[in-house]
Structure 1
Amino acid sequence: MLNNSNPLTLECQQLIERLDQLDFVDPFSLYYFNETKDIESEILRLKTISTRNTVTKKDLSFGIHTSNDELDLIIESMKLRYANNAQHADQMETKIFSNIHSYDFKAMNIKIKACLDFLDIYFQVEKSCTRHDIKKYLTEKTKIRHFIKESNSGYIIRLHDMNSIHSINQRIAHLNHFGLVKASLAITEMEVALDFYGYKHIALITALFKSLKLPNDTENLRIFKTQIGVFTPIPFNPIILHSKIEDGYNIGINHKLADEYWHLYRKQTDQNGQPLPEEYWRIRAEKNMKVNVLSKLDNRLVNIKRVLLDCFKGIRFTQVKKNAVQKTKQLYDCTVEAYGVEKVAYLDANRNLRKLPKEIEMNTELNKLAVNAICNLAKNFSHPS
């Protein structure tokens, strides 16, 4: 049990809330088991901190008659005090950097770069051939192994790191060997990303999540690592979420196979899983769109620039209004939630139609930097006239 002699801290209150939520969970589920273990670990951590505080509050003094055992105890107590102070400082820093309002991206020299992570292109050919024939030929010509699958009367090929229309045209030109039907070329899936280079703290992932603008039908907000079929909700406490992210967890929004999917994480490896040099590490915010959405945008490959820009519209950020009440600002500072989720459209006090919560607004400065990065990328996808 936690010590009840002192007022409950925010962390204790959040633990109680998590315990209360378990009343609505199947006690035989894997999530129930994992959550109880996580809560037990957090209680143990809080008890350890409480014990350390008790020890370090005692007066520490020694003289010429201090025994070696007493001196060892004093030294150990001093170590605990400094360790506790360092831990407290780390936690304060994490909370600060978990808030988007703590960032001046220009002043902090955090660079934002837009990229097209991958796109899937549907195509048809006139010659009789198999998927294996196409894969083999492309590997011989490009020295790159491609993912290709059959689809209806054609095929779908996945292209990674195609950051210009020229690089796409170069790659698909090899398909002319099989009699490529150019009119058939269409985008069936696209994943775009904003990369934040030179980040100061991994808690930027938390800050971006809290500020990300999302549609009101967003669901399945979670953290995940390597498990498949395991749902782990995003912790409310920024300190706990930070420890999960440090342990390799990512943030996912919507099911990965949904028409629209968001993904936030620290990128430290390339597409083949090979470690990147540390100067290329970055915080990444990804948006994935699939064919059901793309087909409504006229997803022919010739329209790739427009499709790209539409896909990037899903990566915009919000912030708390300056005139928001103090309680809202404190809540935003201390808890992790998707504060940028839109509501059903409503009229505000000025009779303007709004979707964002009343004390949330678009983050103009950050979105300007994002749009500049997106436009720099989009210039590379203009078809030559």
Structure 2
Amino acid sequence: MNYSIFRFEAVVDFIEVRIHTTTRNQGWKIKGALALHGISYVEPVQPDAAGWSSHFRIKLYDLRTHAALQSKLASIESECPFASPPVVTMIEVAFDGYLKDPAAPTNHNHLAALAARMAYQLAAPVSPNSRIYRDGKGGPTALPRTLEAIERKMVEGWNVGFGDKTADQYQHGYLKTTDHNKKPIPVEIHRARFEIRLAGAALPDQDIDSWKSFKFESLAPYISFRKADPTADQMQQAIIAGYADRASHRKAIPRKDSSNTRAHIMPADTELNQIVKRQLQHLTRRWSYVRKSAKISTKK
């Protein structure tokens, strides 16, 4: 694939925090108050029969920096004071590919091809439980056995998932055409997306401050890919297309034994993996960035 036609970026899709408030509240009241700050996802933790709780899970989207996370938390505390410091309970990091020329007539075909390739050639699925689904419209069902079939599904709005959505690790690939509220986004920012979501025991840290210096490039193994060797003969290519359970097979591929046929016909996609690592490094720098205040001159 010609990756030069794409512009890539790694972003924090969302961070979920758990807050402990000084007084008990009903979830809908907290949600209503936080809607004024652009926050739409609020869920009470272990509420009573009437929906009252003093613990809430809140998802914060569109955070470009750690400072933005702190600003959102300050807004939340202004509405519902904290009894103890909030903690991170989940994070989702996304790797996006945009077309450099979004006006191209084959826009969705190119993006779907990239999204399908990332899902189909994932190097290390977090689970052999792989499936393709379309929220509210179809599935889940087994992954198609060819790249071309997955591309067609991507254009139609299907998603590929690895693992259970409620598990500590979940990978997700799709063609992104809506925001987190399921509202359509402009065509020029449609993109091929691959996500890794971490929670529970898989979460690197729960401490808010510790995330300021987090090295996002450490997540690269979750977003790494293989490719079919273009020199492989037709029989070898047929082997690739014929894996009934691609996720469990790929996880078993030896990484260092180049004499192994499977490793030979699906070597690492070095070019794309290097792009992923660079973009995660850019995310690390951007995330920890703090705007310096302008110095006030004391000269007269």
TM-aligned CA deviation for residue 111 of structure 1: 0.9
**CA contact 2:128–2:247 (8 Å) conserved in 1:** no
**Residue from 358, 366, 385 that aligns with 2:263:** 358
Structure 1's 121 and 314: CA in aligned 2 closer, same or farther, altered over 3 A?
A: same
Match of 2:16 in 1: 120
**8 Å contact 2:128–2:248 — kept in the other structure?**
no
Partner residue of 1:179?
A: 81
Choose between structure 1 and 2: higher strand proportion.
2
Q: Which amino acid aligns with 1:163?
A: R
Q: Deviation per CA, 1:223-270, whole angstroms, max 9, x where unpaired?
A: 111358954111213443333333222211112222211111111112
Of 52, 55, 68 in structure 2, the residue corresponding to residue 154 of structure 1 is 55
Q: Judging changes above 3 Å, is the alpha-carbon distance between structure 1 residues 187 and 340 closer, same or farther for their aligned structure 2 residues? A: farther
Shift of 1:145: 3.1
Q: What corresponds to 1:136 in structure 2?
A: 32
Q: Give the total of aligned pairs.
A: 272
Look up the match of 2:191. Answer: 282
Tell me how far 1:193 sits from its aligned partner: 0.9
Moved more, 310-319 or 327-336: 327-336
Secondary structure class of the residue paired with 2:153: helix
Alignment-derived partner of residue 7 in structure 2: 111
Where does residue 190 of structure 1 map in the other structure? 91
Query: Structure 1 residue 186: deviation in Å?
Result: 1.9
Q: CA RMSD in A?
A: 3.5
Alignment of 1:374 with 2:272, yes or no, is no
Q: Determine which structure has the larger helix proportion and give its number.
A: 1
Structure 1 position 258 matched with structure 2 position 167: yes
Separation (CA, whole Å) in 2 of partners of 1:344 and 1:313:
14
Please tell me whether the aligned partners of residues 18 and 56 of structure 2 are also in contact (alpha carbons under 8 angstroms).
Answer: yes
> 1:123–1:180: 8 Å Cα contact kept in structure 2?
yes
Q: Pick from 29, 40, 46: which aligns with 1:145?
A: 40
Question: Would the aligned equivalents of 2:119 and 2:173 in 1 still touch at CA under 8 Å?
Answer: yes
Scaled by the length of structure 1, what TM-score is found? 0.60
Q: Of the two, which has the highest radius of gyration?
A: 1
- SS in structure 1 of the partner of residue 174 of structure 2: strand
Q: Is the 8 A contact 1:211 1:340 kept in 2?
A: no
Match of 2:103 in 1: none
Task: Find the partner of 1:300 among 207, 217, 225.
Answer: 207
**Pairing 1:203–2:113 present:** yes
2:71 counterpart residue number: 170
Structure 2 CA distance for partners of 1:211 and 1:268, relative to 1, 3 Å: same
* Cα distance in 2 for residues equivalent to 1:134 and 1:112: 36
Q: How far apart, in 2, do the equivalents of 1:340 and 1:321 lie?
A: 17
Name the CA shift for 1:264/1:346 in 2 (closer, same or farther; >3 Å): closer
Shift of 1:363: 2.0
Is the CA contact 1:343–1:357 (under 8 Å) kept in the aligned structure 2? Answer: no
Structure 2 regions of 5+ residues with no counterpart? 47-52, 100-106, 293-300
Identity %: 23
The Cα of 1:203 is off from its aligned counterpart by: 2.3
Aligned counterpart for 2:180 among listed residues 262, 267, 271: 271
Rounded Cα–Cα distance in structure 1 between residues aligned with 2:40 and 2:198:
23
Name the CA distance, whole Å, in 1 between partners of 2:89 and 2:189. Answer: 29
Alpha-carbon spacing, 1:316–1:230, altered in 2? closer, same or farther (3 Å) = same
TM-score w.r.t. the length of structure 2 is 0.76
Shift of 1:104: 2.8
More relative contact order in 1 or in 2 (CA 8 Å, sep 6+)?
2
The whole-number CA distance in structure 2 between the counterparts of 1:161 and 1:375 is: 18
